[in-house]
Amino acid sequence: MDAAFCDRCGQLASVGSHEACLRARELEPPRYCRACRRRMVVQVTPVGWSARCAEHGLLSV
């Protein structure tokens, strides 16, 4: 499934340039769900991160 929304800024992925978002995502976890644009609950730990969308569940690294 292609992402409908940018997981950093929450804007439509197909509109505009998201180069700054891609660079920032190398260092930080996602903030928005790519499928529904909901703000996710993010927890950062010393060994990684987890992000949970109320609709689509858990992502982690």
pLDDT tens digit sequence for 30-49: 999 999 999 999 999 999 99
Coil vs helix vs strand at 19: helix
How is residue 1 written in tokens?
């499934």
**Lookup: tokens for 15:** 């509109």
d(CA 1, CA 3): 6
> Tens digits of per-residue pLDDT, 4-23?
999 999 999 999 899 999 99
Tracing tokens 């260092």 back to the chain, one arrives at: 27
pLDDT at 1: 46
Please tell me the pTM assigned to this model: 0.84
How many angstroms separate the Cα of 23 from the Cα of each of 3, 8, 14, 18, 44?
Answer: 17, 10, 17, 9, 18
